[in-house]
Chain A
Amino acid sequence: MKLKGRAIFEGKAEGQALVSSSPMSFYGGVNPDTGEIVERGSELAGQTVKGKVLVFPHGKGSTVGSYVLYRLAKNGVAPSAIVNAKCETIVAVGAIISEIPCVDMVDVRKIKPGVRVSVDGATLEF
């Protein structure tokens, strides 16, 4: 299937979809050294974002979360791409400064966990 969204940070990437149905907080929610999701109550707790196409509705929590994305990238454990229903400041800024391809305005419910997703600019294919 092909979905066209809006590119927040343009780039090409691919990976397995890691899908959260609830909003994600990076500050306090993801370990910046390992990429492990540590947010209490998250359906993805214990999984790693490393190399995944991370799919979630939108970001939440502290704006320091942008720097957590940057730390993940510097530590080599960042997601390969981010897909949101509606991107907000924390994730957008984090994606730009970390150079992680980021697309929003897509129906994220169509992306099933575990499928292989490729991202190219504003287009997703899986």
Chain B
Amino acid sequence: MHLTKEEEAMLAGEQGHATRIAMQILVALGKIYDAERLVKVSSVQVSGVSYKNLGDAGLEFLTELASDGKARVKTTLNPAGMSLTDWKSQGIDSGFAEKQLQVIDAYRKLGVEITCTCTPYLAGNEPSFGQHIAWGESSAVAYANSVIGARTNREGGPSALAASLTGRTPLYGLHVSENRVPTIAVDVEAQLSLPEDFSAMGYFVGREAKDGIPYFRGVRRAGLEDLKTLSAALASSGGVAMFHLEGLTPEYGMGAKNLEALTFTGKELAETNALLNDEGAPDFVSIGCPHCSLTELATLAKLLDGRRVRREFWVCCSREVKRQGDEAGYSKLIEASGAKFALDTCMVVAPVEELGYKVVSTNSAKACHYLRNAGLKVRFMPLEECVAEATRKD
């Protein structure tokens, strides 16, 4: 792989220890994926934040990098394993909290903005069409490539951080136009009327498409909430990092001729909904996987206005969207019902299984996937039904 003089210097350790490790990572990845060179990135989203996943070794690694490493481009952060301010009321144990805050301190020292959200594109990290970026967080990767038309591979925590510390990433995969063409077509015949229908469709298609690029035909309209949850579901049941919606997303014009085609009808929709529903009455309800948009807060405020929540109910969103909700008056209505904002975190990365809950009701197929892996039972249902579950008298 060709390196510039400055990149050679970084690799030789002339710009410090952290930059050197970062460059070693990028060069190895470039070698594996046959990149001819590195490309400059304008934005980074770092995953690998929850202490639940990092453990003491991950914390030690970040602390070591923070001794002399610094972000060179705009860098935002994925959710943590708890709210950074209200962890006590979430029932998080103080040992876990102490370690989680140390992880955050290391990232702060590295110059990473402590946004703690999986929707950086709703919280000030908004790349534009055609820009090279390096994002972790699989749902945001799929959204950035497909909806925004920015270019990123599916980065892991360390490789995204390496891009931030050097301002570069190897030029391969989805950074290259010819790799952004569809690999499988999907003929959508089901009626998609709710974001949850997009979520179920993503879950179904992700399993079939694996790490390919689906091209959806027959979807007439899709709002931000539809695209956000579709991205998340495709990336959880499969390894999808990019998709096209004919007539809607910016790069669909490449077309999908001579491709194998799947069909998604009302039958597949119903079967996927059934697949995502276990037995049992929910004792925990959570909305916001990926983190809620302002529109979702508006909907929730309307549904919860004047009602009382009778089960633990988490509304997961970024601090930025919460602030907008405060200004619009939505947050007050949501909190008056007894629902709790879960900022900086979500039901997937917080240790929900250790908080004593058994059955989670949520409107996200992605959340169902990961909560099941953590040993919980799940009930997948539309937002309105989640609110009905949360407010139901036994």
Which residues of A come within 8 Å of B, CB atoms? 6, 8-9, 27-28, 32, 62-64, 66-67, 70-71, 73-75, 86-90, 92-93, 96-97, 104
4 nearest A-B residue pairs (beta carbon) = A63-B156, A71-B57, A67-B58, A74-B57
Instruction: Tell me if B55 and A93 are in contact (CB < 8 A).
Output: no
Instruction: Tell me if B32 and A93 are in contact (CB < 8 A).
Output: no
Question: CA of A63 to CA of B156 in the docked complex: distance in angstroms?
Answer: 5
Instruction: Tell me if B24 and A92 are in contact (CB < 8 A).
Output: no
Instruction: Tell me if B55 and A63 are in contact (CB < 8 A).
Output: no
Question: CA of A73 to CA of B56 in the docked complex: distance in angstroms?
Answer: 12
Please name all residues of chain A whose beta carbon is closer than 8 Å to the beta carbon of B25 when the two chains form the complex: 92-93, 96-97
**CB of B158 within 8 A of chain A?**
yes
**CB of B88 within 8 A of chain A?**
no
Which residues of B come within 8 Å of A, CB atoms? 21, 24-25, 28-29, 31-32, 47-48, 53-58, 60-61, 136, 154-159, 373
- With both chains docked as a complex, state the minimum distance between the C-beta of A83 and any C-beta of chain B, in angstroms: 14
Instruction: Tell me if A97 and B61 are in contact (CB < 8 A).
Output: yes
Instruction: Tell me if A8 and B32 are in contact (CB < 8 A).
Output: yes
Instruction: List 14 A-B residue pairs with CB atoms under 8 Å apart, sorted by A's residue number.
Output: A8-B28, A27-B53, A32-B55, A62-B53, A63-B159, A64-B54, A66-B158, A67-B48, A67-B61, A71-B56, A71-B57, A75-B57, A86-B32, A97-B25
Instruction: Tell me if B21 and A92 are in contact (CB < 8 A).
Output: no
- With both chains docked as a complex, state the minimum distance between the C-beta of B46 and any C-beta of chain A, in angstroms: 11
Instruction: Tell me if B48 and A63 are in contact (CB < 8 A).
Output: yes
Instruction: Tell me if B53 and A67 are in contact (CB < 8 A).
Output: yes
Please name all residues of chain A whose beta carbon is closer than 8 Å to the beta carbon of B31 when the two chains form the complex: 6, 8
Instruction: Tell me if B57 and A70 are in contact (CB < 8 A).
Output: yes
Please name all residues of chain A whose beta carbon is closer than 8 Å to the beta carbon of B29 when the two chains form the complex: 89, 92-93
**A88-B55 contact given A63-B47, A74-B60, A96-B25, CB 8 Å threshold:** no
Instruction: Tell me if A67 and B32 are in contact (CB < 8 A).
Output: no
Please name all residues of chain B whose beta carbon is closer than 8 Å to the beta carbon of A71 when the two chains form the complex: 55-58
- With both chains docked as a complex, state the minimum distance between the C-beta of A35 and any C-beta of chain B, in angstroms: 13
Instruction: Tell me if B24 and A96 are in contact (CB < 8 A).
Output: yes
Please name all residues of chain A whose beta carbon is closer than 8 Å to the beta carbon of B54 when the two chains form the complex: 64, 67
- With both chains docked as a complex, state the minimum distance between the C-beta of A122 and any C-beta of chain B, in angstroms: 11
Question: CA of A27 to CA of B24 in the docked complex: distance in angstroms?
Answer: 22
B58: nearest chain-A partner, CB-CB: A67
Instruction: Tell me if A92 and B48 are in contact (CB < 8 A).
Output: no
Instruction: Tell me if A96 and B48 are in contact (CB < 8 A).
Output: no
Instruction: Tell me if A63 and B136 are in contact (CB < 8 A).
Output: yes
**A90-B156 contact given A67-B61, A70-B61, A71-B55, CB 8 Å threshold:** yes
B65: nearest chain-A partner, CB-CB: A97
A74: nearest chain-B partner, CB-CB: B57
Please name all residues of chain A whose beta carbon is closer than 8 Å to the beta carbon of B53 when the two chains form the complex: 27, 62, 64, 67
**A64-B60 contact given A92-B29, A96-B25, CB 8 Å threshold:** no
A27: nearest chain-B partner, CB-CB: B53
Question: CA of A88 to CA of B239 in the docked complex: distance in angstroms?
Answer: 14
Please name all residues of chain B whose beta carbon is closer than 8 Å to the beta carbon of A6 when the two chains form the complex: 31
B21: nearest chain-A partner, CB-CB: A97
B156: nearest chain-A partner, CB-CB: A63
B60: nearest chain-A partner, CB-CB: A74
Instruction: Tell me if A66 and B157 are in contact (CB < 8 A).
Output: yes
Known pairs A64-B156, A64-B157, A92-B32. 15 more at Cβ < 8 A? A6-B31, A8-B28, A62-B53, A63-B154, A67-B53, A70-B57, A70-B58, A70-B61, A71-B58, A73-B57, A86-B32, A88-B32, A89-B159, A93-B158, A97-B61
Please name all residues of chain A whose beta carbon is closer than 8 Å to the beta carbon of B48 when the two chains form the complex: 63-64, 67
Please name all residues of chain A whose beta carbon is closer than 8 Å to the beta carbon of B155 when the two chains form the complex: 63, 89
Most buried by B among A8, A62, A67, A90: A67
Most buried by B among A27, A73, A74: A74
- With both chains docked as a complex, state the minimum distance between the C-beta of A101 and any C-beta of chain B, in angstroms: 13
A104: nearest chain-B partner, CB-CB: B32
A93: nearest chain-B partner, CB-CB: B158
- With both chains docked as a complex, state the minimum distance between the C-beta of B32 and any C-beta of chain A, in angstroms: 6
Please name all residues of chain A whose beta carbon is closer than 8 Å to the beta carbon of B154 when the two chains form the complex: 63
Please name all residues of chain A whose beta carbon is closer than 8 Å to the beta carbon of B28 when the two chains form the complex: 8-9, 92-93, 96
Question: CA of A97 to CA of B23 in the docked complex: distance in angstroms?
Answer: 11
Question: CA of A88 to CA of B173 in the docked complex: distance in angstroms?
Answer: 13
Instruction: Tell me if A87 and B157 are in contact (CB < 8 A).
Output: no
Please name all residues of chain A whose beta carbon is closer than 8 Å to the beta carbon of B57 when the two chains form the complex: 32, 67, 70-71, 73-75
Please name all residues of chain A whose beta carbon is closer than 8 Å to the beta carbon of B158 when the two chains form the complex: 66-67, 93, 97
Question: CA of A62 to CA of B54 in the docked complex: distance in angstroms?
Answer: 12
Question: CA of A12 to CA of B156 in the docked complex: distance in angstroms?
Answer: 27
Question: CA of A48 to CA of B158 in the docked complex: distance in angstroms?
Answer: 25
Question: CA of A27 to CA of B53 in the docked complex: distance in angstroms?
Answer: 8
- With both chains docked as a complex, state the minimum distance between the C-beta of B367 and any C-beta of chain A, in angstroms: 16
